[in-house]
Every structure is written in C-alpha cells, then in structure tokens.
Amino acid sequence: MKGNMSNGIIIVDHGSRRDESNQLLEQIAALFAQRFEQTYGIVEPAHMEIAEPSIATAYAKCVERGATRIVVCPFFLGPGKHWTSDIPRLASEAAQLHPDSQYHVTMPLGIDDLILDLLAKRVDFCVDHGFRCESCRGTIRSGEKGARVT
C-alpha cells in the first residue's frame, strides 16, 4: 500500500452554481475514496470552474497529503474541449506550483459497457415503476399531464 500512497486522484467535473450538483461530485469522490482506499489512499474532488475546490486546490491538497503523482479523472462523458484543453491546462498550472509532482489526465468516461449498464438500469427503473417513481411523480420529468416544472 505504501507505494500506492504516492498517487493522488482528483475527480473533476465542470462545476456549477447549483450546490446540489457540486455536492454530487463530492459524494462521488468520497464514495470512490471509501471503495478504493486500499489502492488509492488520496482522493480529492475538484470543479473545473465556478466552484471550489478548484483543480489547483485539489492538487495542492493531494501534494499536502503526500502524493507525488496526480491522476486527474474528468467526470465527463465525452472528449470535448474541457478534456482536450481546459482540464490539462489547469492541471499543468497546478503542477507548476509543485515541481516535485507529476500529473496525468485520464480519458473521459466515454463509451463503456458500464455506462451502457447504467443507462439500462435507469430505463429499467422507470419502466418497473410504471413511469411514476417518487423522484419524478408530479414533476415535468414524469410526462404527466399538468405536471409542474421544478
């Protein structure tokens, strides 16, 4: 485990003005850290823009916690501009402040059997609940006539 402790993981999303969205990433990072604590002992959430912690903040936290190699994992589906340019630039800028560290940006989530399984799980849930689960009942998401926009 000691050898792996030099690896820091940053899970990064876009960042939002909505606290619920930012909190979702923080929950994802915490759950990832819990599930993979034996392999990756240093995990931090980051938002590309708008909200803290930023990539720079998360990078500094990883280094502070003992990481010398930082793996930046975009929580994005496709390889758009944020993956090709924005996130690598922000990671590079953060790394310059910590010259004894190195970083690498992973591929985005992309096309994967696990994504397909997750899509099927979401569809099955709606079908199994007759299109009226607690999360959507009475909202415009349910497709019900007269449902309210939330």
pLDDT tens digits, one per residue of 87-142: 999 999 999 999 999 999 999 999 999 999 999 999 999 888 887 778 887 887 77
| Coil, helix or strand at residue 111 | coil
- Determine the average pLDDT of the residues in 34-40: 94
Instruction: Give the strand order in the sheet containing 69-74.
Output: 42-47, 7-13, 69-74, 102-105
| Average per-residue pLDDT for the chain | 91
Q: What are phi and psi of 146, to 5 degrees?
A: 75, 10
**The pTM is what?**
0.85
Would you say residue 150 has pLDDT above 70?
no
Would you say residue 147 has pLDDT above 80?
no
**pLDDT level of residue 5 (50, 70, 90 thresholds):** low
List, in order, residues 6 or more apart from 43 with CB less than 8 Å away.
8, 9, 10, 11, 29, 30, 32, 33, 36
Other beta carbons within 10 angstroms of residue 136's beta carbon come to 17
